[in-house]
Homo-oligomer: A and B are copies of this chain.
Amino acid sequence: MEKVLIFGHKSPDTDSICSSLVTETLAKHYGLDAEAVRLGELNKETEYILNHLGVEAPRKIGEVVEGQKVILVDHNEKEQSVDGREKAEVMGVIDHHRIASFETISPLYYMAKPYGCTSTLLYEIFRRENIEIDKQTAMLMLSAIISDTLLLKSPTCTEKDKEAYSELEKIAEVNAEEYGLEMLKAGTDLSMYSAEEVINLDAKEFSEKGKKLVIAQVNTADINDVFARKEELAFAMEKEISDKKLDVYMLLVTDIINTNSKAIVLGNDREVVEKAFNKKIDENDSMFLEGVVSRKKQVAPPILETL
């Protein structure tokens, strides 16, 4: 039997990596020859988690070959997926995002729910199908939920995420809040990254009405730490804009302690961001967004609707 590749989005975050690994476990339970892979480098947070659990990182792949069977987790949009996906056969998708630029020739398994985290959907599958959850699998799912919901504080967090979090905390026999804070803090250490790397740690590309935009996000315990590097970050963003012919590049710097964000916004069409939030970009190319922590729920929808 051909091997099925399972992966999350480009610039993988913790949910993309952990949910790929957990989906591999699920797929193997059903007798599939499956392998979790990744489309980019691990971020510091995910590195911390895998080290902590003694789990090996999935193999990195560049593109897929003709006819490759794949399962997508935590994404569906073409721009966020593997290079060459149009040649692959998508067997299934497990996701919690909007659906866009996704198209197949044949029927497939597609499971999406508007939850805070892909791993919450996976948790439901384990429960429903009565599959035992071992400690390591519980920790992977718990880590993904902590990451995507910022310890249940993000507005994307649903009751279902909270339920899964509590249950997984019990199975993993861990203090989720203590572990979660360590994990999130590990992810905010940007000191070893170049500006190019920082803006690409968790960058998602969107296409809408012929416009191409990137909304990137980094977490921090102190917004000023990141803005101390504003000039080099802006320089790296301008380079991406010109290399990838982008209309807008927005970098969300999210304070995970106080749950606010400050964004750097560049690009010829950046007034779309001003319209979306009814707020001016200041002379420092920046915009403070009170209470905003979720790209998926609070940032992408108003911008895409304004377009």
**A-side interface residues toward B, CB under 8 Å?**
96-115, 128, 296, 301, 304-305
Chain B residues, Cβ within 8 Å of A101: 103
Chain B residues, Cβ within 8 Å of A115: 107
The listed residue with most B CB atoms (<10 A of its CB), out of A97, A108, A128, is A108
**Is B105 a contact partner of A304 (Cβ separation < 8 A)?**
yes
Chain B residues, Cβ within 8 Å of A128: 128
**A105 in complex: contacting residue of B104, B111, B301, CB < 8 Å:** B301
Copies in the complex: 2
Chain B residues, Cβ within 8 Å of A102: 99, 102
**A99 in complex: contacting residue of B103, B111, B114, B301, CB < 8 Å:** B103
Name the distance in Å between A287's Cβ and chain B's nearest Cβ.
21
**Is A112 a contact partner of B109 (Cβ separation < 8 A)?**
yes
**A111 in complex: contacting residue of B110, B114, B301, B304, CB < 8 Å:** B110
Chain A facing B: main interface SS: loop
**Is A107 a contact partner of B100 (Cβ separation < 8 A)?**
no
**Is A110 a contact partner of B110 (Cβ separation < 8 A)?**
yes
Name the distance in Å between A73's Cβ and chain B's nearest Cβ.
14
Chain B residues, Cβ within 8 Å of A99: 99, 102-104, 108, 110
Q: A99-B99, A128-B128 are in contact. Are A114 and B109 (CB under 8 A)?
A: yes
Q: A99-B99, A128-B128 are in contact. Are A106 and B110 (CB under 8 A)?
A: no
CA distance A297 to B76 in the complex (A): 23
Name the distance in Å between A59's Cβ and chain B's nearest Cβ.
28
**Is B110 a contact partner of A100 (Cβ separation < 8 A)?**
no
For the complex with contacts A96-B107, A99-B108, A108-B112, 14 further pairs of A-B residues with Cβ separation under 8 Å are: A98-B103, A98-B105, A99-B99, A100-B103, A100-B104, A101-B103, A102-B102, A106-B114, A107-B113, A107-B115, A107-B296, A108-B114, A110-B110, A111-B111
CA distance A102 to B100 in the complex (A): 7
20 pairs, CB–CB < 8 Å, chain A vs chain B: A97-B107, A98-B103, A98-B105, A98-B108, A99-B102, A99-B103, A99-B110, A100-B103, A100-B104, A102-B102, A105-B301, A105-B304, A105-B305, A106-B301, A107-B112, A107-B113, A107-B115, A107-B296, A108-B112, A110-B112
Chain B residues, Cβ within 8 Å of A108: 98-99, 112, 114
Chain B residues, Cβ within 8 Å of A110: 99, 110-112
Chain B residues, Cβ within 8 Å of A114: 106-109
